[in-house]
Amino acid sequence: MADSEGPPAASGAVDDAIFHDPVFDGATDPTVIRHRGTGEWWMFYTQRRATVDEPGVAWVHGSRVGVARSHDGLAWRYAGTVEGLEAEAPRETHWAPEVIDDGERYRMYLTVIDGVFADWDHPRRIVEYVSDDLEHWRRLGELPLSSDRVIDACVAHCPDGRWRLWVKDEADESTTWSAVSDDLAEWRVEGRAVGGRPHEGANVFELGGWWWMLVDEWRGMGVHRSPDARAWQRQGGPDDVILGEPGRRGGDGTFGRHGDVVVDGDRGVLFYFTHPHWDGSELGSSDAPAARASAVFAAELRVEHGRLVCDRDAPVSALPEA
């Protein structure tokens, strides 16, 4: 990987996003982690191929894992793609990297699809990789989960001392399922963690004395709260979401999608993506790269009287610098 400021967005538009992928202008599913050696912030994301001319939703497939780096979490520079994740054959699609620091090394939990397809109806699985430096990765293998239609892994160390992994299970009406592990080596499926309205992209974090799960409902993010990261209760009614109302920043006028939260003291910084020029049509129905383009924004989260709140228009303070 080589750092680069990169060219402007492929769509040619100017907006207030903190990051555009300079290759395909399709940055989605960001996850942000601090490098324990340098203190620098690294963003891993799905490098969706928004500018390619291929049938159906083939442009959403064939993606690699992009990387950006930042000293403060606000100004990002492109650092290429992660090498060494691909199997020898067939060509793989990579979505939604989840990257954690387990205290000894880094782990990546990646959605992998065997091929590049023009439709959505194909098996998906979660594959694990390990790294000592966030740059060089070694493949460990597939995790045994609830079905062959699982995507969007999230992993956290829970209050009971165990690790939990949450995924979207498309075979169970696109709900969130969990698996548990004592050592990150052996996993056992626990069952459905959050049901209700179909969703994806669960992100779990601790803030303000509670555990929180955000889920992308394709109209904003549903919020769920837990005392122990096991039993979840939805915040508000079934129609309550955050990032559902248009923001005032340039390019932030549609709902926020699939994000990751970095906790910094009494606040969280939510990194999410949106389609700055999306018109609400079915994904894949437009051939215009500008309509497909996606970009990463940031917004602050706080807990007020036991509720998670987000003002997407409020200024975002920098993360601690290296």
Quote the domain boundaries for residue 177. Answer: 27-310
Domains: count for the chain: 1
CA separation, residue 97 to residues 55, 77, 93, 308 (Å): 25, 18, 12, 25
Closest to 269 measured CA to CA, from 2, 24, 13, 33: 33
> Which one-letter DSSP state was computed for residue 290?
H
Higher pLDDT pick, 1 / 70: 70
Average pLDDT, the chain: 93
Per-residue pLDDT of 32-44, as tens digits, reads 999 999 999 999 9
CB 50 within 8 A of CB 26: yes
Per-residue pLDDT of 155-187, as tens digits, reads 999 999 999 999 999 999 999 999 999 999 999
Q: Is residue 173 part of a domain?
A: yes
Q: Is residue 300 part of a domain?
A: yes
Per-residue pLDDT of 196-223, as tens digits, reads 999 999 999 999 999 999 999 999 999 9
Q: Is residue 45 part of a domain?
A: yes
Closest to 283 measured CA to CA, from 258, 303, 261: 258
End-to-end CA distance of the chain: 20
Q: Is residue 295 part of a domain?
A: yes
Q: Is residue 315 part of a domain?
A: no
Q: Is residue 302 part of a domain?
A: yes
CATH number of the domain bearing residue 159: 2.115.10.20
Q: Is residue 156 part of a domain?
A: yes
CA torsion through residues 81, 320, 272, 133, sign: positive
Per-residue pLDDT of 91-123, as tens digits, reads 899 999 999 999 999 999 999 999 999 999 999
Residue 3 pLDDT: 63
Q: Is residue 93 part of a domain?
A: yes
Q: What is the pTM of this model?
A: 0.94
